[in-house]
Structure 1
Amino acid sequence: MTKTATLAHLAEKTTLSKKQIEGVLDETLALACREAKKSGQFVLPGFGKLVLANRKARIGRNPQTGEPLKIPAKRVCKFRLAKSLKDAVLGKK
């Protein structure tokens, strides 16, 4: 589903205009980015958690030559789905 389709669907289901919904969505994404940078995580209850994590340096392999490569440590961004959303999408086990 594209951003335009999402905005149209939400506008149809609520009393807000597409422009208002776009403003809310854009501000939510900006807030998620700011909070993740500042505190290392952003939680949207019922949806999931955006988390910054440090990945350790490790040894990898060049797939063509098989030569070992040193992969440096880096900071990565991960998203973890809320359990309730995961169960709703995948079905309970």
Structure 2
Amino acid sequence: MNKKELVENIASAADISKAAAEKALNSTLAAIAETLKNGDKVTLVGFGTFSVSKREARKGRNPQTGKTINIPAKNVAKFKAGSKLSEAIN
């Protein structure tokens, strides 16, 4: 499912326009991203938890040349599924 299909699904389930559904989805995603950017986590009970993890700098190898390269540290987003989501897919 892509974003367009998700918006259509939200619009029909909530009986609202596609424009309103897209605005709500974009606002939700922006709020999650902003919270993660601030280093906090977002917990949606039953669905799951979004969090940020720090990935340390490390050495890597260019597969084409075999030359060693430095990979910089960065923050990565993580998601851990909640119990209701896990039950729904199994």
**TM-score normalised by the shorter chain: which range applies?**
0.7 to 0.9
* Aligned-pair identity (%): 38
Q: Secondary structure at the match of 1:53?
A: strand
1:58 is matched with 58
After TM superposition, give the deviation of residue 28 of structure 1 in Å: 0.8
After TM superposition, give the deviation of residue 51 of structure 1 in Å: 1.4
The letter of the residue matching 1:37 is: K
| Residues paired across the two proteins, number | 90
How far, CA to CA, are the matches of 1:68 and 1:87 in structure 2?
44
How far, CA to CA, are the matches of 2:23 and 2:86 in structure 1?
27
After TM superposition, give the deviation of residue 40 of structure 1 in Å: 2.7
How far, CA to CA, are the matches of 1:7 and 1:73 in structure 2?
35
Q: Tell me how large the CA RMSD over aligned residues is.
A: 2.0
2:43 is matched with 43
After TM superposition, give the deviation of residue 78 of structure 1 in Å: 2.1
How far, CA to CA, are the matches of 1:4 and 1:17 in structure 2?
13
Alignment of 1:6-85 (within 5 A): 6-85=6-85
Pick closer, same or farther for the CA change 1:65–1:85 going to 2, 3 Å.
same
Q: Secondary structure at the match of 1:78?
A: strand
1:3 is matched with 3
Pick closer, same or farther for the CA change 1:3–1:70 going to 2, 3 Å.
closer
After TM superposition, give the deviation of residue 70 of structure 1 in Å: 2.4
Q: Secondary structure at the match of 2:6?
A: helix
How far, CA to CA, are the matches of 1:60 and 1:39 in structure 2?
27
Q: Which moved more, 1:24-33 or 1:56-65?
A: 56-65
Q: Which moved more, 1:78-87 or 1:18-27?
A: 78-87
After TM superposition, give the deviation of residue 25 of structure 1 in Å: 1.1
